[in-house]
C-alpha cells in the first residue's frame, strides 16, 4: 500500500479582483502518484509548476480542486482525519516567513522532538 497516493489530482489558484473570484492558474492537472513508506522522491520543476502546492496537499494545508490525496489510505478531504494525517506528513517550508514556530528551519525541526509528551 502507498504511504501517499494521489488520484487524478487537480489544483487551481483563484484570484479575487474587485470582489469577484476567477480561476487564474491551473497548476496540477490530473496528477497520479504513489509514494511508498521509506521511499525518497524529488519533485523538480520551474517556479510556479506546482511543487510546493503538491507538498502542501500531502498534509492537507491545501485541498484538491479535483481528484484525491490519500495518506496511509486516509482521504485529506475528510476533516475528521486532519490530525492523524498531519501527524504522518510534516513540512518544513523554504521561506522563513512561512515557518511554523521559529525563525529558522533548525528550530522548527527541533520543536517536535523537544515537545513530545
Domain with residue 80: its CATH number is: 3.40.50.300
3-state DSSP assignment of residue 19: coil
Q: Residue 53: left if φ>0, alpha if ψ -120 to 50, beta else—which one? A: alpha
98 found inside a domain: no
Residue 112 belongs to a domain: no
What 8-state DSSP symbol labels residue 80?
Answer: G
- How much is the pLDDT for 13? 86
Largest Cα separation within the chain, whole Å, is: 48
In a domain? residue 75: yes
Amino acid 30: pLDDT: 95
Domain assignment present for 23: yes
Range of the domain at 56: 4-89
pLDDT tens-digit readout, 96-109: 566 566 667 777 77
* Number of folded domains that form the chain: 1
Task: Report pLDDT digits (tens) over 52-71.
Answer: 999 999 999 999 999 999 99
Closest CA to 35 of 2, 57, 73, 72: 2
Inter-CA distances, 81 with 75, 98, 99, 101, Å? 8, 24, 23, 23
Domain membership of residue 94 (yes or no) is: no
pLDDT, one tens digit per residue, over 6-48 is: 999 999 987 777 777 676 778 899 999 999 999 999 999 998 8
Amino acid at each position: 500500500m502507498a504511504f501517499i497516493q494521489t488520484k487524478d489530482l487537480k489544483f487551481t489558484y483563484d484570484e479575487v479582483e474587485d470582489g469577484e473570484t476567477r480561476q487564474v492558474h491551473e497548476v496540477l492537472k490530473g496528477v497520479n502518484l504513489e509514494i511508498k513508506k521509506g521511499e525518497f522522491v524529488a519533485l523538480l520543476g520551474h517556479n510556479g509548476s506546482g511543487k510546493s502546492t503538491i507538498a502542501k496537499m500531502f498534509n492537507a494545508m491545501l485541498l484538491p480542486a479535483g481528484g484525491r490525496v490519500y495518506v496511509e489510505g486516509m482521504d485529506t478531504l475528510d476533516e475528521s482525519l486532519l490530525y492523524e494525517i498531519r501527524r504522518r506528513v510534516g513540512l518544513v517550508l523554504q521561506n522563513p516567513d512561512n515557518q511554523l514556530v521559529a525563525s529558522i528551519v533548525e528550530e522548527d525541526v527541533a520543536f517536535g522532538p523537544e515537545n513530545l509528551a
